[in-house]
Amino acid sequence: VCRHIKNGDVLLLNRQPTLHRPSIQAHRARILPGEKVLRLHYANCKAYNADFDGDEMNAHFPQSELGRAEAYTLAFTDEQYLVPKDGKPLPGLIQDHMISGVSMTIRGCFFTREQYMELVYRGLTDKKGRITIFPPAIMKPQQLWTGKQVVVSTLLINITPENHLPLNLTGKAKIGGRAWVKGPANRHLNLDSMCESQVIIRNGELLCGVLDKAHFGSSAYGLVHCCYEIYGGETSGKVLTCLGRLFTAYLQLYRGFTMGIEDILVKPEADHKRQKIIEKSSQHGIEAVRAALNLPETASCKEVQGKWQDAHLCKDQRDFNMVDLKFKEEVNNYNNEVNKVCMPLGLHRSFPDNNLQLMVQSGAKGSTVNTMQISCLLGQIELEGRRPPLMASGKSLPCFQPYDFSPSSGGFVTGRFLTGIKPSEFFFHCMAGREGLVDTAVKTSRSGYLQRCIIKHLEGLVVQYDLTVRDSDGSVVQFLYGEDGLDIPKTQFLQPEQFPFIAENYEVIQKTKHLDEALARMESHQANQQFKAIKKWRARHQNSVRREGGFLMFSQKKMASVKAQIPGGEIKNGRDPATLQLLKMWYELDEKKRRKYLKKTNKCPDPSLGVWRPDTYFASVSETFENGVEDYINKWESANRQSHMYPALSSDRLKDLLYLKWQRSLCDPGEAVGLLAAQSIGEPSTQMTLNTFHFAGRGEMNVTLGIPRLREILMVASANIKTPTMSVPVFNTKKALKKVKQLKKQLTRVCLAEVLQKVEIEESLHVKCKQNKHRLYKVKFHFLPHEYYREEKCVKPRGILHFMETFFKIFLEAIKRKNAKMASFTEVSTRKATRKDLDGDQDKTMNNQEAPAEEDENIVDAEADEGDGDATEAKRRKNQEEEVDYESEEENGEENIDENLEDEEAESEKEERTPGAEADQNEADGDDSQHLSFMSQTKNQKDRSLQSAELRVNAVLESHPSIQDYMFDTENELWCEVSLTLPLMKVYFDLSSLLVSLAQSTVIHEVKGITRCLLNESTNKQGEKELVLHTEGINLVELFRYSDILDLNRLYSNDIHAMAKNYGIESALRVIINEIKDVFAVYGIVVDPRHLSLVADYMCFEGFYKPLNRFGIQSNSSPLQQMTFETSYKFLKEATMMGAHDELRSPSACLVVGKVVKGGTGLFDLKQPLT
């Protein structure tokens, strides 16, 4: 041992799981003799995701001088203030500090001279040299200093680096202006002027507003963030340290903090109102069920319960989900009513004095949901996004009645923690709690494997010295990182909203950024000329966006005359003589004439970023930034003109400063952007709950969300995704709007079950002699009258009958299959063997058909947590399949369907369905509206139709030997009847259940790939309303046929393969970015688009859409990187057999052999003069 660690040495702290870059940071050590624990400042905990309940951390001590230097300058906590995911701050003060900060900076908080000195000293214990103090705010009757003076003024002035001007800042506090209003608000009160929620700092003095989470917590554009931006990391670190000390001291010395029962009590009158609302809510459950099942007001309780039971036991769960949805809406309203009555005004004490409210409002701890659960009610319990499920008996818990209408039986907890909850409510509450625990345990492995896959693929992507992003073998992935070359943490103050802040603190920034020296060395005219050229071109060609070349114009002019001269002839290389002649003429044109054509069609000049390198040419910025700067400068100048002030700062000077700031924000060469992108997608995915069932009611599309969708996009790149959808806007013309309704009908799939009303089955046993025993089944199908589904579906009664004639064959086939299966039940062992053989065969055939890349797709698609449990995986899946087979049989049998089989399966789609529509009333009235009916035809037609009917019957009888007899309704075409003879078998099975399942899966009418359509209204970019056609399922070719109705230029689909196939790889790239963004947006997570564009670019830069799994890594040029990913032996074998060699450039390869990784400070070498 050379020496032990001393105070001030650097050490690297790390906490597992290391999900992103801030999980390893460098700290200065402070030795505490006799202590056995690590001590860590609260502010750093968020970066590590650490708490103090026994977390363990690892400390590493860099030994070499190089390592120590890098730790002090690059990895130090002060430099890790902004997180690379979206450039927001990570460290910040928490909990007690918030309370203290708010109560200290609130109006009316004064300190005497002794107290003021004490607090200032406590804040600035480690400052060397003199401390500047302020004169008191109140002189007589005694000298008093305000809390605002202590916190910001004294601290900021003393911490600001020497010879720098103090800070100017205008911002908002987390606590809104409304919270400070005492009593009923009068209407003329202007909350924007001098309200405590406006934070205004001028020359380092806090003039107005309270400081809370928005300023010294981990939130963007607060006080600490602004200090970091202007003075650098060291100063912002000091600000946090000193504020922490000061607030702790204030709480300890002058203001204890507690929370009592009176903070959660509700006034008696509010409590009374709450009671009333809860009583009302228990009565209104039945209405929700009625609304969901489309029953009239008159329907009795029994009737409604019966319908609800049907919906519950029915195979198609759509109706049942609808009940759930309606209940949730209903209950939500009551929940909000209760909260309105109790929440801010119904409490015994109101904010500032109410300590719980102070905690919530200032962001110290807790949320409004917590306070509501304490003093109002717990609300609806949800499991997997729906209400607690019903058991087969129709109860949710044994203590309720079956199909109980009261919301409390569906998990609506009306109790509150203040007065306690009932046992049944407690049980529901526990269910929800347990689900949360299980979810956390399950999702870590999922997101962990996802992140590992992305990281192993992207690890080599580094920004090079020419600003391109290249893989470790030198292949270019992006020409500028994130398409504008900026480093994400540095972009925070380049938003146009933050320009005023830069203008306010102009002097400081120009000093720290060395503006004058930079301007002396930089030339901006190249970039400026480029921007001018673009503007000039835009002014000239306002409408022409089409790309045209000179030759195109030339041929448009001359083609007709040349064709007239040379009529036809043999085609050479796909071109006729006329075209060849034209080409010749173009080549023979003299320079002057050709230039005339070329000049007319010159295209828009390239953007400045594409022509001039942003790092060496000053003011070569992205077009969006240029536009933002222009707008701001114009606004700024007009404001100055109106106020007749001529500021010290000229507009050109401000513009130069903004450009310099942009240039200073470019990504540094050596930045491992691939890893940052991977971490920025992987780290938030650990926060996404796994099972988000965004289950659809009637009007909604069902979409895969969360980690399953991320895996679909990134890891599997699967060609057939779970929920493919398309959306196309409809043209806003009368014709299109009329036609689109018809189109929607045409694209919706119709199953047999949706048009059946009931099926009657009569069964009889015929025994003629010993050999000839059979069962005779008479099956009569009753169809719904046409008007029930005319609006929704594109089929007619005649079409249905024609379809039925082919359906019997399908039905008999199904019976035969079922028989075979039943017979083999007795010999289960043999069945298993045959099943396995079948499986093997299927696999073989599949592999031959599909592209070799997808061979093992099924394995990869399975639970990927096991890494590569190929064999075990396959075995497990086989077992599962067998189990499923047995289960499905039983399920079919369980549907206790009586002979009069009410088939209301998918009726949920028909809103018009009137209740109680039994067959009896409809069969008699042959409605005239049915033009297809045989009644309205003339005599001779009638005869003809009768003949054709006989032909049809005969055709059916001949189609299968088991069909004995067939007849159908020639009048209204509303029923048909068939008689089947089936031989006796060993096992009896229920024909009706088989028929039900078959009717649901048999399709009468469909457009390939599309199951259903929705028309939704949305607003486009111009803010106009427009209809959008959404389809479940994908068939782009079909939609292309309706170019007169649909705006096909704006068609969008979430199937990336389909988009790549139809529109090319660039559009697929945009779709990938969009889809990942949407997945995160559901959870309110923001990931910078630069990360997403890098990942998408990497997945598509080979020209096709490749997954980030072990098939994707086959195209990698470093065998060692492949081996460290998965299936090492396979890659090793291939590399040795092919004689592949590794350049040792990829990070994995460098780590394997112990070289320095080519990235960061290892990207360059130093040349040393030897003389």
DSSP 721-782: -SS-EEEEEBPSSHHHHHHHHHHHHHHS-EEHHHHEEEEEEEEEEEESSSS-EEEEEEEEEE
Q: Which fold has domain 96-182+193-253?
A: Enzyme I; Chain A, domain 2 (1.10.274)
| Cα–Cα distance, 1100 to 1096 (Å, whole number) | 6
| Cβ atoms of 688 and 637 closer than 8 Å | no
- Going across the sheet that includes 198-202, the strands are 169-172, 198-202, 205-208
Reference 453, options 1131, 1110, 1147; nearest CA is 1110
pLDDT digits (tens, 9 = 90+) for 1006-1018: 888 888 888 888 7
Extract the tokens encoding 67: 């390592």
| Cβ atoms of 472 and 673 closer than 8 Å | no
| Cα–Cα distance, 991 to 980 (Å, whole number) | 11
| Cα–Cα distance, 545 to 920 (Å, whole number) | 65
Answer whether residue 919 shows pLDDT above 70. Answer: no
Answer whether residue 488 shows pLDDT above 50. Answer: yes
CA angle 475-478-484, nearest 5°? 155
- Per DSSP, 89 falls in state B
pLDDT digits (tens, 9 = 90+) for 624-633: 888 898 898 8
- Per DSSP, 232 falls in state -
Contacts 24+ apart (CB under 8 A), 963-968: 963/808, 963/812, 964/776, 966/805, 966/808, 968/801, 968/804
Extract the tokens encoding 576: 């006729």
| Cβ atoms of 777 and 763 closer than 8 Å | yes
Instruction: Produce one character per residue of 579-602: b if its CB has 16 or more CB atoms within 10 Å, e if not.
Output: bbbbeeeeeeeeeeebeebeeebe
pLDDT digits (tens, 9 = 90+) for 313-358: 877 777 788 888 888 888 888 888 888 888 877 888 888 888 888 8
| Cα–Cα distance, 681 to 1092 (Å, whole number) | 8
| Cβ atoms of 968 and 976 closer than 8 Å | yes
Averaged confidence pLDDT in the chain = 79
| Cα–Cα distance, 238 to 164 (Å, whole number) | 16
Helices (H), 3-145: 45-48, 65-73, 96-105, 113-123
Q: What is the CA 707 to chain-centroid distance, rounded? A: 9
Answer whether residue 462 shows pLDDT above 90. Answer: yes
| Cα–Cα distance, 1121 to 460 (Å, whole number) | 10
pLDDT digits (tens, 9 = 90+) for 782-826: 888 877 777 777 777 778 777 877 787 788 888 888 877 777 765
- Per DSSP, the three-state class of 93 is coil
> Rounded to whole angstroms, what are the CA distances from 757 to 124, 783, 903, 972?
83, 5, 6, 15
| Cα–Cα distance, 174 to 712 (Å, whole number) | 38
Higher pLDDT, 967 or 199: 199
| Cα–Cα distance, 890 to 879 (Å, whole number) | 17
- Going across the sheet that includes 1025-1033, the strands are 1010-1019, 1025-1033, 725-729, 1052-1053
- Per DSSP, the three-state class of 17 is coil
Higher pLDDT, 37 or 644: 37
CB neighbours of 320 closer than 8 A, spacing ≥ 6? 311, 312, 314
- Highest-pLDDT range among 314-328, 879-893, 938-952: 314-328
pLDDT digits (tens, 9 = 90+) for 555-584: 777 777 777 777 666 666 667 777 777 778
Give me the amino acid identity at 210: V
Share of the chain above pLDDT 70, in %: 84
pLDDT band at residue 1091 using 50, 70 and 90 as cut-offs: very high
> How many CB atoms lie under 10 A from the CB of residue 808?
19
State residue 477 phi and psi, 5-degree precision: -100, -40
Crossing angle for the helix pair 318-346 and 301-313, nearest 10 degrees?
A: 110
Beta bridge partners of 169: 201
pLDDT digits (tens, 9 = 90+) for 734-779: 888 888 888 888 888 888 877 887 788 888 877 777 667 777 888 8
The full DSSP string for 953-985 is HHHHHHH-TTEEEEEE-TTT--EEEEEEEEE--
Q: Are strands 725-729 and 750-751 parallel, antiparallel or unpaired?
A: unpaired
What is the reported pTM? 0.82
> Rounded to whole angstroms, what are the CA distances from 1084 to 653, 685, 1081?
39, 12, 5
CB neighbours of 1016 closer than 8 A, spacing ≥ 6? 699, 1027, 1028, 1030
Higher pLDDT, 181 or 849: 181
Higher pLDDT, 328 or 902: 328
Answer whether residue 403 shows pLDDT above 80. Answer: yes
Q: Are strands 379-380 and 110-111 parallel, antiparallel or unpaired?
A: unpaired
What region, left, alpha or beta, does residue 49 occupy, with left being phi > 0 and alpha being psi -120 to 50 degrees?
Answer: left
The ranges assigned to domains in the chain are: 10-80, 96-182+193-253, 261-378, 488-543+605-665, 550-600, 725-749+1008-1045, 750-911+934-1005
| Cα–Cα distance, 1015 to 1034 (Å, whole number) | 16
| Cα–Cα distance, 200 to 152 (Å, whole number) | 11
pLDDT band at residue 406 using 50, 70 and 90 as cut-offs: confident
Terminal-to-terminal C-alpha distance of the chain? 36
| Cβ atoms of 226 and 107 closer than 8 Å | no
CB neighbours of 211 closer than 8 A, spacing ≥ 6? 101, 102, 105, 151, 152, 173, 199, 223
- Per DSSP, 492 falls in state G
pLDDT band at residue 898 using 50, 70 and 90 as cut-offs: very low
| Cβ atoms of 678 and 454 closer than 8 Å | yes
Helices (H), 918-1055: 919-924, 939-959, 991-1001, 1036-1040
CATH of 488-543+605-665, one of 3.90.76.10, 2.60.120.380, 1.10.3980.10, 1.10.357.120: 1.10.357.120
Extract the tokens encoding 564: 């007239």
Evaluated on CA atoms 603, 607, 608, 613, the torsion sign reads negative
Answer whether residue 409 shows pLDDT above 80. Answer: yes
Share of the chain above pLDDT 90, in %: 12
> Rounded to whole angstroms, what are the CA distances from 184 to 108, 178, 615?
22, 11, 58
Averaged pLDDT, 645-667: 82
| Cα–Cα distance, 104 to 250 (Å, whole number) | 8
User: Is 2.40.40.20 the CATH classification of the domain at 10-80?
Assistant: yes
Answer whether residue 130 shows pLDDT above 90. Answer: no
In the CATH scheme, what architecture does the domain 750-911+934-1005 have? 2-Layer Sandwich (3.30)
In the CATH scheme, what architecture does the domain 261-378 have? Orthogonal Bundle (1.10)
| Cβ atoms of 1111 and 859 closer than 8 Å | no
| Cα–Cα distance, 522 to 529 (Å, whole number) | 15
| Cβ atoms of 70 and 37 closer than 8 Å | no
| Cα–Cα distance, 738 to 990 (Å, whole number) | 47
Averaged pLDDT, 28-41: 88
Provide the pLDDT for residue 1153.
Answer: 92
| Cβ atoms of 496 and 631 closer than 8 Å | yes
> Rounded to whole angstroms, what are the CA distances from 1140 to 718, 1120, 1137?
29, 10, 8
| Cα–Cα distance, 240 to 223 (Å, whole number) | 10
CA angle 744-971-952, nearest 5°? 85
